[in-house]
Amino acid sequence: MSGAACRFPPLGAVAGLVVALLISGGILTWAGFNDPQEVNGTLSADATPAAPISDVADGDWSAYGRNQEGQRYSPLKQINADNVKNLKEAWVFRTGDLKQPNDPGEITNEVTPIKVGDTLYLCTAHQRLFALDAATGKEKWHFDPQLNADPSFQHVTCRGVSYHEAKADNAPADVVADCPRRIILPVNDGRLFALNAETGKLCESFANKGILNLQTNMPVTTPGMYEPTSPPIITDKTIVIAGAVTDNFSTREPSGVIRGFDVNTGKLLWAFDPGAKDPNAIPDDEHHFTLNSPNSWAPAAYDAKLDLVYLPMGVTTPDIWGGNRTPEQERYASSIVALNATTGKLAWSYQTVHHDLWDMDMPSQPTLADIDVNGKTVPVIYAPAKTGNIFVLDRRNGELVVPAPERPVPQGAAKGDYVAKTQPFSDLSFRPKKDLTGADMWGRHHVRPAGVPRYLPSAALRRDFHPAVRTRHAGISRVTWGCSNGAASPSIRTARWRLLTQWRCRLSQN
């Protein structure tokens, strides 16, 4: 290099580069903490909160959605928009329940605690049940069902527990004496526990000394293949429970049967097996429920006046291939099903996706509300879907209140399968307005630390029921948007509408 002159970039170029880097850094920082997909809107200022359907004490949250209608509305007013900034931590409780060496890959803490009186009840990922003093966080008692999970379980989780009070006018004297107030705990290995809410002791008068075996008459009884993960619906007479089944492992899966058990004794009262020719047929010792029936894994909702339970349904395995499905397996898949809670008889059903090839099972607890339609009060059900649609139906008969016209969708299924010619599209929707690309990502997904691969969608990021595409690098390429594990909350003044492509939807009002 002897004799060569050292050349530096012009100062203007350096300054321009610095400015560009600062701008880029600012954009990345902003994107990390902001959501460009968020849309804020307002409703009429004179709108008033809808009256609650069921009677829950103001300070209680006695069911997964506060009440069994899934309304998630609390009338308490001490905390408001003006003073919420002053909240401070009152107590911390650590369950000590962590991932174990023999656990499956997916172990999640999804619990919504319930509060009855001065006690908070919550379950952990391994379904350990804790009763805490709501004011102090001090443990009152705990119960461990000794879940023996292993890597063959698809997941380990507990979304919550249910509460029931046995009363003298609808329960035998020994039941009232044994467990007047009880907590119902679903466990991932197919057991259901009834425990005294005061002491944590098993309710001896329920099922087999407090334990109900949900594997009875199942066609497959391998632990972990049938998993009740959501709290059951509790009526004055019946426990209504469904469960998840292992996804995409085999076409010989357990049944997704929905069952009603006597709330006091645990005796089987009825069954609704979605994949059976006669859904209400109860098997005997020589017969089983139907293999691979569509299941209902998300929390359900209940209307006590109509005595109807509303169940969000999934699709039979495999999720993305339908060439070998029976008409019975198709009939109630990816639907809202309304059953009489006392008899298990079908009242109505509404299918949100026809011949589902996209795993668009109904993932959220429905929400019930009474709304004004042309001057008349109509009892409705809000059913959020993975498709981004929110279906609004008259919960008495399943008729649409908000239109959801059938529209043609792209065709072109794999050999041996087909794509439904039309699908319903609700007028109340959070579907994206255009096909998604990597440019639609936001947040710190853009940032790639040194040595860490950055994954961007490579193909088939399309809306509205395009057939899945197999690509060389991405395998089956699909995009899902819409709602999952949340729900709509209709009793509101201002609405914050939000779409998250990681399966979250929020429609809330305060």
Under 8 Å CB-to-CB from 11, ≥6 apart: which residues? none
pLDDT at residue 118 tops 70: yes
- Per-residue pLDDT band for 89 (boundaries 50, 70, 90) equals very high
* Residues linked to residue 321 through DSSP beta bridges, in sequence order: none
- Per-residue pLDDT band for 475 (boundaries 50, 70, 90) equals very low
Pair 379, 323: CB distance under 8 Å: no
Give the pLDDT confidence score for residue 223 in this predicted structure.
Answer: 86
* Residues linked to residue 382 through DSSP beta bridges, in sequence order: 367, 392
Pair 349, 336: CB distance under 8 Å: yes
Under 8 Å CB-to-CB from 108, ≥6 apart: which residues? 125, 155, 156, 157
User: In the predicted model, what is the mean pLDDT of the chain?
Assistant: 83
Q: In percent, how much of the chain has pLDDT > 90?
A: 61
Give the pLDDT confidence score for residue 52 in this predicted structure.
Answer: 59
Give the pLDDT confidence score for residue 450 in this predicted structure.
Answer: 55
Q: Name the more confident of 174 and 240.
A: 240
Q: Name the more confident of 303 and 498.
A: 303
- Per-residue pLDDT band for 404 (boundaries 50, 70, 90) equals very high
- CA 474/CA 468 separation, integer angstroms: 11
Domains in the chain, ordered, with CATH? 91-361 (2.140.10.10)
- CA 361/CA 503 separation, integer angstroms: 12
Q: 4-33, pLDDT tens digit by residue?
A: 455 556 666 666 666 666 666 665 555 555
pLDDT at residue 46 tops 80: no
**Which range, of 1-15, 254-268, 392-406, averages the lowest pLDDT?**
1-15
- Per-residue pLDDT band for 408 (boundaries 50, 70, 90) equals very high
pLDDT at residue 415 tops 70: yes
Within 34-186, residue ranges assigned H as helices are: 173-178
Q: 262-286, pLDDT tens digit by residue?
A: 999 999 999 999 999 999 999 988 8
Under 8 Å CB-to-CB from 229, ≥6 apart: which residues? 110, 155, 157, 158, 159, 186, 188, 243, 244, 297
Give the pLDDT confidence score for residue 24 in this predicted structure.
Answer: 60
Maximum mean pLDDT: which of 326-330, 442-446, 460-464: 326-330
Q: 124-148, pLDDT tens digit by residue?
A: 999 999 999 999 999 999 999 999 9
Q: Which residues are catalytic?
A: 359
Q: Name the more confident of 392 and 50.
A: 392
Mean pLDDT in residue range 182-204: 97
Mean pLDDT in residue range 409-430: 92
pLDDT at residue 467 tops 80: no
- CA 224/CA 128 separation, integer angstroms: 17
